[in-house]
Amino acid sequence: MLGAALLFSFMGAGVKAASATYSAGEIVFFRAAVGLVLMGALMRLRGVPLATPVPAMHLWRSVAGVTSLCLWFFAIGGLPLGTAITLNYMSSIWIALFLIGGAVLMPAPGAAGAPSGIDGRLLASVLAGFAGVALVLRPTIEQDQIWHGLCGLLSGLLAAMAYLQVSALGRAGEPEERVVFYFSLGGCVVGLALAMATGGLHALGAGPTAHSLAGLGLLLGIGVLATAAQWVLTRAYAIGNALVNSALQYTGIVFSSLLGVWWFDDPLTPLALAGMVLIVAAGLAATVLRQRVVHPHPRQPPAES
């Protein structure tokens, strides 16, 4: 999850830079097209079949994920990078709320038959992460950026739904490559439709404006970074705990804020720095607590094969 957060942060900076030239639909299309090619080649290399026993799960994951992606890219184009990333990473808070609500409505029986809720310490670490988000989030949304801000918030909600669906696909035994492949396929379809509806794929010469090879290279770089990040993210949710992942995912705000300072000259206040420290601490605490709950005794590492 830490690796995915770092890769997504670099991708977000690339999206911010590309948004000055390309529409959100074009960026989504190229981001997905690169993933489709890379994952298709990897599936062929590893012998992963294209057919899936759970097509409906892939469909719902793609609907939520691609819609979230489009809204997020739109928000990045109109907001400071740190603000846009923070709004999208509210998905972690939504995941925690979903899990807490599920535990309240359908509590799992404990060892003695009593309801067993979510570990209070783990919940506290997620709430601490939320407090860090509040510190990092600065009032930078101007009147003409309201729609971008609302789209950023909605992208976080839909991303939470998509992440939970990824976790369900992992439990269903779906390989990560196939999950990312079908997500990329959905992104290609939706991104192409949006791009053509808003003037065509300029980068391929289908629009009224000619663009440089540097712009095309930026789009391809976004696709490579996003594909690598999506693959790692899918792996994290397939083998990990959704609540712990939600805490660790906050580190993307730290990476993105630093990139914003370096690349776009975004201001970085002491309050924001305090929030970053709190976010990282919350993520590390959640990881330690998860290990203690699931593996209270040290395990011997598996033998190499």
Encode pLDDT of 36-64 as tens digits.
Answer: 998 899 999 999 999 999 999 999 999 99
Please state, in angstroms and as integers, the Cα–Cα distance from residue 190 to each residue in 26, 123, 152, 155, following that order: 10, 36, 18, 15
Per-residue pLDDT reduced to its tens digit, 122-166: 678 778 777 876 776 665 555 566 788 788 888 988 988 887 888
Report the C-alpha gap between 101 and 109 in whole angstroms: 16
CA 192, 196, 198, 199 dihedral sign is: positive
* C-alpha angle 105-91-241 in degrees, rounded to nearest 5: 65
What's the whole-number average pLDDT of the chain?
A: 78
* Residue pLDDT, tens place only, 66-96: 999 999 999 888 878 887 887 777 776 676 6
Q: Which residues pair with 108 in a beta bridge?
A: 116
Cβ burial of 263 (10 Å; 0-12, 13-18, 19+) is middle
The SS3 assignment for 75 reads helix
DSSP string for 252-296 = HHHHHHHHHHHHH-----HHHHHHHHHHHHHHHHHHHHHHHHH-S
Residue ranges of E strands in 140-248: none
Per residue in 226-269, pLDDT (tens digit) is 888 877 887 887 787 766 776 777 788 888 888 988 888 877 77
d(CA 128, CA 135): 11
Per-residue model confidence as pLDDT tens digits over 163-215:
788 888 988 989 888 988 999 999 999 998 888 887 666 555 544 445 677 88
Domain layout of the chain by residue ranges: 2-103+116-291
